[in-house]
Structure 1
Amino acid sequence: MAARALREAGRRRGWAAEVGRRCFSGGSAGTAVPERKEGGGGKPVNLFTAVNQALHIALDTDPRAYVFGEDVGFGGVFRCTTGLADRFGKNRVFNTPLCEQGIAGFAIGLAAMGNRAIAEIQFADYIFPAFDQIVNEAAKFRYRSGNEFNCGGLTIRTPYGAVGHGGHYHSQSPEAFFCHVPGLKVIIPRSPREAKGLLLASIRDPNPVVFFEPKWLYRLSVEEVPEEDYMLPLSQAEVIRKGSDITLIGWGAQLAVLKEACEDAAKDGVSCELIDLKTLIPWDKETVEASVKKTGKLLVSSSLLMFIFTIYHLGNNNSKSFRQYINYC
């Protein structure tokens, strides 16, 4: 009861408020949108609006698609599901009890019956009660039945990462746990355009997907996003900055900081090649290997704090130069 009371108190505080003061915009360079029409254009939108557009399209184009989770009926704490219940009805967009293992278990069963189950875990920190269902049921469903059955229509969406005021139950980044699980795909977008295309691809992929959304960027990242239906390929990384001295790899909200680190390094004469992994499992080995063969050095950003620390020292000249650091790597 105490745990539930604490959780309710956190939700009543309104986590959908602005999540910081510094604005970043996703880069325009990226994989071509296959279904985009010539001259189609797009509108500048933020990341949560792009997610909302993707969910509208997924429900509109597939009558077997359902969206459910805690508070999704009124739009969710981050407003990603705004307007869905009004348009598609409460039979297809509905609230669930505060029970993550129940949400995941129901989603697996729904997907196993040939539907598109789009489940929302309100915060990634809450995904751990559903760990058994995701890891031991969803990921292994096809394998243990000898490919006779599957729950490939399952997508679990969840906002992850710190925003500066969330506390230890609203700031975690648990993606690494799921990257060791054969049978799952783990996706993290860096920007609104990427979020829409990758989410639609995840929903339509014939494998269970855990889709982490960087809540730090829900309102801060803005770029032009095609209004029409489109998908971006999964398991295909993107070189978003070419370089020759070192390869940097990141995903999600880290990319905004990594871009600044590359710019600061360039001032010190270091040429960084920056790769957005996008799909953490199964990841794009070919793109990474080709880059590392060229640069000879690799640095994986596993913590946003690490690069904030690096940029701080670059700006204050209180440590070894970035050139020395890279040579050390």
Structure 2
Amino acid sequence: MATNTAAWIKEKCGPFVVEEAPIPEPKDNEIVIRSHAVAINPVDGYMYKKGMLIQSWPTVIGCDVAGTVTAIGTSVTRFKPGDRILACSDYTGDRVNRGCFQLYCAVFEALAAKVPENVGFAEACVIPLGLCTAAASLFQKPNLALPYPVLEPRSTGKVLMVWGGSSSVGSCAIQMAKAAGFEVATTCSGHNFEYCKDLGADYVFDHTKETVVDDVVKALKGKESAGVFEAIMAADALVKSAEIAHRLEGKKHLATVLVGPPTSQVVPEGLPEDVTVTYCWGTTIQHDDVGPAVWGEWVTSALASGALKGKPNAEVVGQGLGAIQEACERIVKGVSAKKLVVELP
């Protein structure tokens, strides 16, 4: 008989403790997964180190998972036991142990997709939260409300600016924007230029240069902007992104991951008055048309065709739940153009 084990956080800012946990029973719209690989996100580090977003302890966190379906809820139609899937675990749901840092976890059908046979679990698990966050900013209203990604996109004749293209969220944003028919301009460090170009970016700028805002505006002169997406949690990046949105021709709209509830972050003062600034919360796409359009209609086919790649590249840092601790310590220190992954044999 199967048993579950989880990497629990027993108290605020406490260490991970690997102990038994109940195997979740799927609700009507849920899937239970036997996790085979989980990825570590910056938000996991914040939750572990600062207790951010956690309402009570003990708890199990974790957002990015790939594995095999073991059970489905009564209203689930897209999956069956045995399917290989990737999914975003919505920690803001109503389960104390909803996170995916455990052998068995429950996820919502709306935030899951099948993994093609040509894609491994470690590659697949780097995608979910970055995909959700980028999709919320690019496609939701009142965010940028761009057309959805498709396998054979037609050019819109417009350009989307993505600040932070080598990040997990930025990598997903570049790929989805290209699949929606946009040219993409992005920023990153100089050593990540080729990485962003390989994702499909048409213009790449060095964010460390003092002239980066002027460089972007000069290069995109005469092009119609579809808006700007600030994909990293940094106030200075938001200020520069807002200035770019202000100076480009076209849509004066900045979507950002930095601000808004349920975090305590706030918009920096002094942003251009003609720029609309909106924040996103990735897992909300399960409640509108964006979730089905991205997760239901696009992800699996895009993975199979190569239009969507598991980026940043997975760096497997350990096996077993005991490796979660060190992985979260590393993510707090910062990583670039890679995603830390723990395999769960």
Shorter-chain TM range is: 0.3 to 0.5
Q: Which has the higher strand share?
A: 2
- TM-score normalised to structure 1 length: 0.33
- TM-score normalised to structure 2 length: 0.31
